[in-house]
Amino acid sequence: MKIYSQRATRGDMRRAFAGDRKEELRQLAAFLTGNKELAKTCMINACALAVTYNQVFLDWLDHWARRATIISAARLSQAQITQLGASYEQYSCPHSQHPLLTLEEIELLTTERDIVASRLDLLCRFALVMYGVENIRRHRRP
């Protein structure tokens, strides 16, 4: 059976939150929430959420782990997101398109994440990750 046709087990999903990936996902949670302590809770919740998925292929584990982390962070930050969203509804976007980030821009965001996080509010950080980073990963999959 080829890897793209094998379904991930709960154990596979738990392992997606361990090892080398754990630190990357923790940093993603901390970037999104803006709070290292809340990021720990986010990681616990994300792993618990991820193991509930029963239709994940092994080659999509990284994607699902990131997705569960983003969902968990959004749930923990829902009140702030709602409040910020209401304030942004007053403004219109001055440009019509939002191009995907380049791989170089994503690398720069990764290396300068603390500076970027300090300059963006919570909603902007979520938009940046969901549109700019995750969208490009989806479009540029091998």
Tokens 């292929």 locate to 57
Tokens 């965001």 locate to 109
| pTM given for the model | 0.84
For residue 128, what are the contacts with CB-CB under 8 A and spacing of at least 6? 109, 116, 120
More confidently predicted of 102 and 137:
102
In this predicted structure, what is the pLDDT of residue 3?
A: 52
**Token digits for 116?**
């970027």
